[in-house]
């Protein structure tokens, strides 16, 4: 398999692709103009190549919670499906929430839980199941007291019921490079910062290591890209991998980012991500093969594009 895309003509940002335990795939994505009683379109596929829409799958909350729904991800556990997402207004008030459904295509019903009440701002929840069966929730949160203030990454173990954090969040990764700059002199949280952004975490366990991909920079432009970190345990410590961005603009891609990771039917690793169309009017779903390149002392992730 190689990189191909877009695999869906419609707007489909922040794509998360779930491989179902009984076969097939479901993708969930963000749409900036979600109307009606449900949000978050789902796409279904038997093979990662042919996709059909199952329509929006999350029941909308009352208006007091906000009208911007971002970055859904879904875990299959305990005979049910659990959706993690954020809701707010623009860049204000976003916190992580959880919804439950009997089917991967919903309807998902919010469980009335704010998973991150202590955070200033939290988005991009990523549920990760370790090889021992333990679940963790990675996410992005705003951090002001840092040499590179901005949106950083964190993680916490999930409780056995999938509906709360079992411990306080632990810092995962902070920005470490200029390419992760979102905007200089940005007015946010009532102050001005040279704001850096890491978001959209996704994790896989391979070769006795945990690999984390994340998006950095401003999602609005061509500088948006995907970086890589590595750890020996989901709780870290995590370190940036010294390699060029895994995905960046070029070769027909425009501001690629906010990826998720899944596996193909042959067991190979697959990266799903969005990229702007040629007119820069829509972010669309792309897929590609992912591989780990081993070196004498360390390793790196690479995307196969041909």
Domains in the chain (CATH in brackets) are 13-304 (2.115.10.20)
pLDDT cut 90: percent of the chain above it: 88
Give the largest Cα separation in the chain, rounded. 55
Does 297 score more than 60 pLDDT?
A: no
pLDDT of residue 298: 57
State how far the alpha carbon of 201 is from the alpha carbons of 162, 190, 192, 264, 283, in Å.
19, 27, 26, 20, 18
- pLDDT of residue 32 exceeding 90: no
Higher pLDDT, 26 or 207: 26
- The set of residues, in sequence order, having a beta carbon less than 8 Å from that of 80 and lying 6+ positions away, is 100, 101, 102
d(CA 28, CA 202): 14
pLDDT 10s digits, 191-204: 999 999 999 999 99
What is the pLDDT confidence band of residue 3, given thresholds at 50, 70 and 90? low
Amino acid 286: pLDDT = 96
Confidence band, pLDDT 50/70/90 cuts, at residue 212? very high
pLDDT surpasses 80 at 35: no
pLDDT band at 292 (very low <50, low <70, confident <90, very high): confident
CA–CA distance from 281 to each of 6, 9, 12, 138 (Å)? 14, 12, 12, 29
Q: For residues 77-92, give the mean pLDDT.
A: 96
Dihedral sign from CA coordinates of 178, 138, 2, 43:
negative
pLDDT of residue 296: 35
């Amino acid at each position: 398999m190689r990189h191909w895309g877009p695999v869906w003509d419609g707007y489909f940002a922040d794509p998360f692709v779930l491989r179902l335990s009984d076969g097939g795939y479901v993708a969930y994505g963000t749409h900036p103009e979600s109307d009606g009683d449900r949000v978050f379109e789902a796409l279904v596929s038997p093979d990662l190549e042919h996709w059909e829409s199952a329509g929006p799958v999350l029941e909308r909350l009352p208006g007091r919670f906000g009208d911007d729904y971002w970055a859904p991800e879904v875990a299959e556990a305990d005979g049910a499906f659990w959706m993690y997402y954020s809701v707010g207004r623009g860049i204000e008030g976003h916190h992580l929430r959880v919804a439950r459904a009997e089917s991967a295509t919903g309807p998902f019903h919010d469980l009335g839980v704010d998973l991150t009440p202590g955070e200033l701002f939290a988005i991009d929840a990523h549920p990760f199941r370790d090889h021992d069966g333990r679940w963790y929730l990675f996410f992005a949160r705003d951090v002001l007291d840092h040499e590179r203030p901005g949106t950083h990454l964190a993680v916490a173990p999930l409780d056995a019921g999938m509906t709360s954090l079992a411990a306080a969040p632990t810092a995962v990764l902070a920005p470490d490079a200029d390419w992760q700059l979102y905007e200089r002199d940005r007015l946010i949280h009532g102050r001005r910062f040279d704001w850096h952004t890491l978001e959209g975490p996704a994790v896989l366990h391979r070769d006795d290591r945990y690999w984390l991909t994340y998006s950095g920079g401003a999602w609005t432009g061509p500088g948006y890209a995907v970086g890589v970190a590595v750890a020996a345990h989901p709780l870290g410590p995590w370190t940036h991998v010294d390699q060029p961005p895994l995905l960046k603009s070029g070769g027909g891609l425009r501001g690629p980012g906010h990826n998720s990771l899944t596996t193909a039917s042959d067991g190979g690793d697959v990266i799903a991500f969005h990229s702007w169309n040629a007119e820069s009017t829509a972010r669309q779903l792309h897929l590609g093969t992912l591989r780990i390149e081993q070196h004498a002392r360390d390793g790196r992730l690479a995307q196969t594009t041909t």
